[in-house]
Amino acid sequence: MASADDALIAAEPSVAFVLPNAYIRVWTGPKSTMTIDDIRDNFALLDDWDDRYRYVIELGRTLAPMPEDEHSAANKVQGCASQVWLSKHVDGSRAVPVLNYLGDSDAHIVRGLIAILLTLYSGRTPQEIMTIDAPAVFEELGFREHLTPQRSNGLRSMVERIRRDAREALAAAS
């Protein structure tokens, strides 16, 4: 008899991330089931930051491709050392709108950070977005000591961009 996990694995492609002491499955696809708790658990399995950086890069590879026309000045996040684009898509088919995001960067580590941010924020209502403390999550994962000041500033810029989008959506709904 197949388990629910077997059905999920069959229904959605994934990538295996293999390290000497850990085997981690990174869910991919447009409706990824990976949660921030999965990322936390996977980080706990990894002993050193070289492995954690490799994992973050692998997360970046799971991002849905961003169409070329969305690599626009309007979607570019200011304040990042690398080039970063966040494209907001509002699902207004529900009683409360949901904000979905695509993200991309020209830097592998930054793409991974975007993947973590989208795991936190994408597919949520503006109210939910405003309650999420992404800096605390990144602190908990240990990034404070392991990101350059430029990357930390870029991360803050990405979070502020998403929160600004949520504030604008809330104002539009009022």
Catalytic residues: 80
40 vs 45: CA distance, rounded Å: 9
Residues 6 or more apart whose Cβ sits within 8 Å of residue 155? 113, 117, 134, 135, 138, 143, 147
140 vs 61: CA distance, rounded Å: 23
CB count within 10 Å of CB 35 equals 12
88 vs 169: CA distance, rounded Å: 11
SS3 content of the chain, % helix, strand, coil (to 5): 50, 15, 30
